[in-house]
A and B are shown apart, each in its own frame.
Chain A
């Protein structure tokens, strides 16, 4: 009798929709879950709700116009996305930008990474039921957005990079406020550990959950902290250094467990690394022009240019095919979120719905980045 009941229960596989409007998807992502009781058998992501065909728009835009479109993809790493396009264009023009530009780009890039990780940390806590972390994360992130507002004129979609350099010079308060932020955040980061990292409930929900092996991470093209937690050394800053990264000291954070907690810990450790990079550079911004002279209409020579950068989520690639015109023939954005999402099904199979929330959280998906 028991066996019959068991078989009856086993066979009842059913589907539910998670999203497109679900708080833990952080945007419009629809997941069709195939469930057996509470156990996930399959996750099928349905994306494209905010697809704007940015790649097609780029085919009609000049290179200066393309830069601001990348803000609207991964809005939490907007400065780094801008930098990728600018570096690709500069590569095509064989333009050497002044050291001042490289240093400022690197500092603001690391500040962007910090603010992205702070937001991720806040919402990760909230996804797992802790409201306090959300407030902590946003409190510290506010200081960075204030710095951005002062220097770049915007808080989120900054559009501070232009091909050849920066749109304008840094604000006189930039160095002082950044240093204030570093001293502030160095005191606050241990609080993050006290609140979540060493929390028993948090550990119960993350340790051993959603394991991704190194081989699978490579095969699925997972990059960023999510892949480094599985031991896949893929930090673009280390392997293909750009801007001022060749001259700063930092170590690539690697872990081997590959579970949710390892991905969490990777990002926390990356925040310390980012702080150290900013500290090395903030007092050593060289004097000089903030922009190399470029023509008003940029025409790249015929050829192909692939530039990759490390955003807060992973490897972001810009692939430009130029036919010598003022706009690209084809422009492809290899976005980290797109590849990271493809591994979600593999990671979530066999776990429970509540664990799926933790897995999605540690993948740190930004939906416009996936949909483009």
Chain B
């Protein structure tokens, strides 16, 4: 499926998605409650078959949180960036994609650890890099640590 067809397909599936063609990837911004069904369909549909999640990133914006999925299909060789927008910075939640791509298990633990985004139905959501008794989420922009961080 070429990028035009892919764009058509996304708009048809999720009308509220904002689809833009970036310089590198086609990009779709979807609301967080629609993200799981959309991603599951992207993976299972033989026309898209995005079977390889090569990067999953959490981003902290001033008003909202975002989880970015970089997807690639090893059969069709096309790529797509899906951004799930979570409209709150207090107790952000999103459905896990562990059962679609196993690599997400580690990535989501890392995002939970550093951003505090809770992945619902994740099999083992614990802190990954930091100690279990750590307070706060260090990668958030408003995180302060008077001991370990130098103010700029």
A318's nearest neighbour on chain B, judged by CB, is B55
Q: Is A303's CB within 8 Å of the partner chain B? A: yes
Q: Is A7 an interface residue (CB 8 A)?
A: no
A319 touches B55 (CB 8 A): yes
A234 to B77, CA, bound (A): 11
Which of chain A's residues have a CB closer than 8 A to the CB of B129? Answer: 47-48, 51, 371-372
Q: Verify A219–B74 contact, CB threshold 8 A.
A: no
Per-residue B-contact encoding for A298-309, CB less than 8 Å = 1, 0 else: 000001111010
In the complex the two chains form, what is the Cα distance from A315 to B54 in whole Å?
9
Quick check: B139 and A221 within 8 Å, CB to CB?
Answer: no
A55 CB, nearest partner CB in chain B, Å: 7
Interface residue? A349 (CB, 8 A): no
- A218 CB within 8 Å of chain B: yes
- Residues of B near A219 (CB, < 8 A) are 51, 101-103
Which parts of B116-152 form the interface with A (CB within 8 Å)?
A: 128-131, 138-139, 152
B93, CB-defined interface residue at 8 Å: no
- Kindly identify, within residues 334 to 367 of chain A, every residue whose CB is under 8 Å from any CB belonging to chain B: 334, 338-339, 341-343, 346
Q: Which of B1-9, B19-27, B32-40, B84-92 contacts A (4 or more CB under 8 A)?
A: B19-27
Among residues 7 to 53 in chain B, which have CB atoms less than 8 Å away from a CB atom of chain A? 22-25, 51-53
The number of residues on chain A lying at the interface, defined by a beta carbon within 8 Å of a beta carbon of chain B, is 37
| Interface assignment of A330: CB less than 8 Å from any CB of chain B | yes
Q: Which residue of A lies closest to B104 (CB)?
A: A221
Interface of A is mostly: mixed
User: Does A184 sit within 8 A of B, measured CB to CB?
Assistant: no
**B78 touches A (CB below 8 Å):** no
Which of A56, A218, A317 contacts B52 (CB under 8 A)?
A218
The answer to the question of A290 belonging to the interface, with a C-beta cut-off of 8 Å to chain B, is: no
Which residues of A lie under 8 Å from residue B53 when comparing CB positions? 221
Give A214's nearest chain B residue, CB to CB: B74
Q: Most chain-B CB neighbours within 10 Å: which of A47, A51, A221, A334?
A: A221
Question: Please, how many residues of chain B have a CB less than 8 angstroms from a CB on the other chain?
Answer: 31
What is the bound-complex CA distance between A56 and B139, given in angstroms? 6
**A304 to nearest B CB, angstroms?**
7
In the complex, which residues of chain A have a beta carbon less than 8 angstroms from the beta carbon of B105? 342
User: Chain B's nearest CB lies how many Å from the CB of A22?
Assistant: 20
B25's closest neighbor in chain A, by CB?
A306
**Contacting residues of chain A (266-323) with chain B, CB-CB under 8 angstroms:** 303-306, 308, 315, 317, 319, 321
Tell me the nearest residue of chain B to A372, going by C-beta: B129
A124 to chain B, nearest CB (A): 24
Among A51, A233, A308, A341, max chain B CB count under 10 A is at A51
- Bound form: Cα–Cα A48–B109 in Å: 12
The CA-CA distance from A287 to B25 in the complex, in Å, is 35
B83 and chain A: residue at smallest CB distance: A304
Per-residue 0/1 for A209-225: is the Cβ within 8 Å of any B Cβ (1 yes, 0 no)?
Answer: 00000001011110100
Contact of B138 among A56, A343, A372 (CB under 8 A): A56
User: Which residues of B have CB within 8 Å of A56?
Assistant: 138-139
Chain A, 181-224, contact with B by CB distance < 8 Å: what is the 0/1 string?
A: 00000000000000000000000000000000000101111010
Q: Known contacts A55-B139, A303-B22: does B128 contact A332 (CB below 8 Å)?
A: no
B54 close to A317 (CB less than 8 A): yes
A81 to B102, CA, bound (A): 25
Q: How far is B74's CA from A96's CA once the two chains are assembled, in angstroms?
A: 30
Q: Complex: how many Å from CA A321 to CA B54?
A: 17
Task: Tell me, in angstroms, the Cα distance from A126 to B80 when the chains sit together.
Answer: 42
Q: Are A220's CB and B102's CB within 8 A?
A: yes
Closest to B110 in A: A338
A342–B25 contact, CB under 8 A?
Answer: no
Interface contact B59-A330, CB-CB below 8 Å: yes
A-B contact list, 12 entries, CB within 8 Å: A51-B129, A56-B139, A303-B22, A304-B22, A315-B54, A317-B54, A317-B55, A317-B70, A319-B55, A341-B106, A342-B102, A342-B103
Q: A53-B114, A317-B55 are in contact. List 16 more A-B contacts (CB 8 A).
A: A51-B129, A55-B139, A218-B52, A220-B102, A221-B52, A223-B54, A234-B74, A239-B77, A303-B23, A305-B24, A308-B54, A317-B70, A319-B70, A334-B70, A342-B102, A372-B129
- A interface with B by C-beta (< 8 Å): 47-48, 51, 53, 55-56, 60, 216, 218-221, 223, 232-234, 239, 303-306, 308, 315, 317, 319, 321, 330, 332, 334, 338-339, 341-343, 346, 371-372
The 8 closest A-B pairs by CB, nearest first: A221-B103, A48-B129, A342-B106, A334-B55, A51-B129, A332-B57, A219-B102, A220-B102
